[in-house]
């Protein structure tokens, strides 16, 4: 018998993390491609991050770290887009 106890995870937090990271990586592509791809993925990541944050609070903090990193990636992506990333770079 194994004494492994499955801890509940937060897959929505990890989805937000990976969407935000993909948006950050794709944002510098010029000619509005990065704006559409990176910006779109970061908006999806922001929605998932809010959902994951509420799920994490309900699960005693499970998955809060990926949500924090997703939020950082989203902020960097939006800051890059606001200075011309994805459009003129």
Res 29 pLDDT > 80: yes
Counting the structural domains of the chain, the total is 1
Is 1 inside a domain boundary? no
pLDDT interval class at 15 (50, 70, 90): very high
Token pair of 32, please? 């509005």
Question: Which pLDDT score, from 0 to 100, does residue 6 have?
Answer: 63
Is 4 inside a domain boundary? no
- For residues 15 and 41, the answer to whether their CB atoms sit within 8 Å is no
Question: Which pLDDT score, from 0 to 100, does residue 38 have?
Answer: 92
User: Domain of 74?
Assistant: 11-82
Angle between helices 64-82 and 11-26 (to 10 degrees): 20
Res 8 pLDDT > 80: no
For residues 10 and 63, what is the distance between their CA atoms, to the nearest angstrom?
Answer: 5
pLDDT 10s digits, 38-74: 999 999 999 999 999 999 888 888 889 999 999 999 9
**Mean pLDDT score across all residues of the chain:** 89
Is 15 inside a domain boundary? yes
């Amino acid at each position: 018998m194994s004494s492994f106890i499955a801890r509940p995870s937060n897959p929505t937090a990890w989805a937000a993390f990976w969407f935000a990271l993909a948006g950050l990586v794709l944002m510098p592509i010029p000619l509005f491609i990065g704006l559409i791809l990176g910006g779109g993925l970061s908006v999806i990541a922001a929605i998932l991050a809010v959902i994951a944050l509420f799920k994490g609070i309900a699960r005693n903090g499970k998955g809060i770290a990926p949500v924090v990193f997703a939020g950082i990636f989203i902020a960097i992506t939006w800051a890059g887009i606001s200075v011309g990333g994805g459009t003129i770079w």
